[in-house]
Amino acid sequence: MDGKRVFARGPVIVGHRGLGRGTVDGHLENTLESFLAAAPAGVDWVEVDVRRTVDDELVVVHNPADADGVFYADITAQEACDKGALRLGELLEALPESVGVDFDVKTSMEDATLARTRTTMGRLAAVAARESRRRDVLVTSFDPGGLDIARQLAPGVARGLLTWVGFPIGHAVAAAGHLDVQVLAPHWGSMHPNDAEPRPLHRPLDYVIDLVHASGRELLAWCPEVEFAQRLLDAGADALCVDDVPTVVASLKAPASA
């Protein structure tokens, strides 16, 4: 990496699965319509869930299986699309180049038996590298092994470590500081006292974000409640991945005294 900031235009608002999780303004998550509506609604980037099908194609879906229990890793891309999935290539072709993309790579357990180049991250690496030549790109994952594959196969593409709901922020900051990543992406619930780190064990928000920056990383918090989003930005968060984009954007534009 050349040291260039990932969120140079920050603070950045990222549309979670397009306009947001579920259905927002009539647009279902992870559909082409939701992604295309996100930028006009006020976001700089979109977050895109990526999964691999059995024929090594990439589709945009969040869960490993559909509502009937059919796993995407067991079916072809065409079969996935017949069930309503969106091909990643179709999305990237239609999405304006001014919109950055956070590829949230959903590693499946089947990746454990595959060569690195055939894993979900392995298949995405060339796509991410190509997209990075025409738009802002970040590859994120909960899987450190997947991030290592991205480092190997697409070394010029920024990487981010995702941490799960309630994951202790102290562990997350320390892990990201010693992994070859540029971004730490914790769930917003890790950024305030919780069951894993109650108040006596929890550092102040400003302290946490300052320490992330001191370690040379940027911070992307995902899915904050509207009321907490402004607190994160005021404390120096570099980016927020948000649900219900229109509501959050309108809230962040409102005067602080409102």
- What residue spans define the domains of the chain? 12-252
Q: pLDDT digit string (tens) for 184-202? A: 999 999 999 998 899 999 9
Let me know: does 12 contact 248? Beta carbons within 8 Å.
no
CA dihedral 124, 129, 131, 132 (to 10 degrees): 140
Q: For 195-231, write each residue's pLDDT tens digit.
A: 889 999 999 999 999 999 999 999 999 999 999 999 9
Please list, in sequence order, all residues whose beta carbon lies within 8 angstroms of the beta carbon of residue 228, skipping any fewer than 6 positions away: 188, 191, 192
The torsion region of residue 55 among left (phi > 0), alpha (psi -120 to 50) and beta comes to: alpha
The domain 12-252 is classified under which CATH number: 3.40.50.720, 3.20.20.190, 3.30.300.30, 3.40.120.10?
A: 3.20.20.190
Question: 10 Å Cβ neighbour count for 62?
Answer: 14
pLDDT tens, 129-166?
999 999 999 999 999 999 999 999 999 999 999 999 98
pTM as predicted:
0.95
